[in-house]
Amino acid sequence: MSYGRKITLKSSDGETFEVDEAVGSESQTIKHMIEDDCADNAIPLPNVTSKMLSKVIEYCKKHVETPKPDDNDELKAWDADFVKVDQATLFDIILAANYLNINSLLDLTCQTVADMIKDKTPEEIRKTFHIKNDFTPEAEEEVRKENQWAFE
């Protein structure tokens, strides 16, 4: 089923994707470009690779197609599966969702990362996200003492 006209999106690596206007409009960035009449030719998205764009389009398509009561269990399950990707991809989706201004996708992906942090120790957090410990030993000791209550 198609709603209205089709628009063409062009990724940073030159690949083009044709989608329904409704699907593209899930992105506020793209929606504004359509409204400003910049959508007659392909809309260039220099910050989004073809791999990411196809993932984002998959998300937007599903959300446009699914009827929307807030307690839609099937959609929630689909979303949970959608974010079962490796960490690098997850962060790339966050960047794409932010650039394309897709609130629900940004919310979903950021919440997923937050859920990964939950209940972890600082060491586990550093390990999971490859974060460098940039404290001096003295500073680390101090911040650990200040936040000792969180380790009980």
Partner 1 sequence: MEDLPPSLALEILSRLTDSADLARCRVASKTLKDLSYEVRTLNHLCTLSQYLKSRSSDADPLIMPFKTIFKNLVRNSPRLECVSIGVEKSLGRRSFVEVEDDYDDLYLSDVSFMKDWLPVIGGRLRSLSISDFWSQSSWRRSDALALISSCCSSLVELELKNTWLSVDGLNIMPQLTNLTLEFVRLDDEDLNKVNFCFMGLQVLNLIGVGGLKEPKIELLHLKRFHWTVSNAPLSLIILAPNLVELKLECIKPKLLVLDTPSLSDLHLTIEEVNEFKVKEFGCLKCLKLVSLNPFSVTGMLRLSRTVKMLTVDIPRSIDSVASKLSLGTLFDCFPNLRSLKLGSGAWSGMEALFCAGGLEGGIGMKSVKEITTYLMLYEMDTTLAFLFCVLDRCTNLSDVSLLIHCEVDSSTASKFISKCRANWPGVRWRWGMWEEGTEDIWVTDAC
Which one, 41 or 148, has the nearer CB to partner 1? 148
Q: What is the dihedral of CA 73, 78, 80, 83, to 10 degrees?
A: -160
Site for partner 1 in 61-120 (CB under 8 A): 91, 94-95, 98, 106, 110-111, 113-114, 117-120
How far, in Å, CA of 19 to CA of 40, rounded?
13
Measured CA distances, 9 to 33, 42, 81, 152 (Å): 11, 5, 25, 51
Minimum distance from CB of 145 to partner 1 (Å)? 10
Tokens representing residue 118 in the block: 């939950």
Minimum distance from CB of 22 to partner 1 (Å)? 26
Binding site for partner 1 (CB under 8 A): 91, 94-95, 98, 106, 110-111, 113-114, 117-122, 125-126, 129-135, 139-140, 143-144, 146-152
